[in-house]
Amino acid sequence: MERTFIAVKPDGVQRGLCGEIMKRFEQRGFRLVAAKFMQSSEDHMKQHYLDLEDMPFYGGLCKYMSSGPVFAMVWEGQSIVKLARMMLGETNPADSKAGSIRGDLCINIGRNIIHGSDTLDNAKREIDLWFKAEEFVTYTPCSQAFLYE
Ligand code: IDP
Ligand code: MG
């Protein structure tokens, strides 16, 4: 089992897309293990996007991501890091296939509504950056035996 960090960005929250995004992860069969609705600080976002530090959009991105509420979540499931990235679509919504979250729900690269960890190592790093151990809930969904052989 893997865990990944997913966040509905301020544009996704403002556009009322938290429910739609959660629905897609639930219906795929993934298990929600932590979630919080919060406003992040610019420093926190600078940490989160540290690997993009040298990009021209880094400053604006971190400012934007801390400008309003985000819905931060940790989801669990088999191969979830890769599968969630496929569900998200490409970074640029214009390159994202219809059926993906970005391909269905947004238009612009700077307003692409959702974040998802891109590797297992980054997922671990991001989960630690956003959540404390006591914020996780452990339970067995009744669907578990029908999702996995
Ligand atoms: P990702 O969100 O698909 O992992 P990253 O390359 O990690 O994409 O970039 C992080 C975020 O930075 C993107 O989701 C997008 O919001 C923003 N971003 C990436 N490239 C550009 C750009 O060329 N212009 C403006 N914003 C960008
Ligand atoms: Mg990324």
Q: In whole angstroms, what is the distance from residue 127 CA to residue 53 CA?
A: 19
Q: Which domain range does residue 35 map to?
A: 2-146
- State the pLDDT at residue 123: 98
Annotated binding residue 3: no
Catalytic residues: 115
The predicted-structure confidence for 38-96, as pLDDT tens digits, reads as follows 999 999 999 999 999 999 999 999 999 999 999 999 999 999 999 999 999 999 999 99
CATH number reported for the structural domain that contains residue 115 in this entry: 3.30.70.141
- As for the ipTM of the complex, it is 0.98
Strands (E), the chain: 2-8, 31-39, 69-77, 114-116
Cα separation, 41 vs 69, whole angstroms? 10
What own/partner pairs with CB < 8 Å and gap ≥ 24 does 54-60 have?
Answer: 57/110, 60/110
Q: How many domains does the chain have?
A: 1
Name the nearest CA neighbour of 96 among 104, 24, 131: 104
57 lines ligand 1 (CB under 6 A): yes
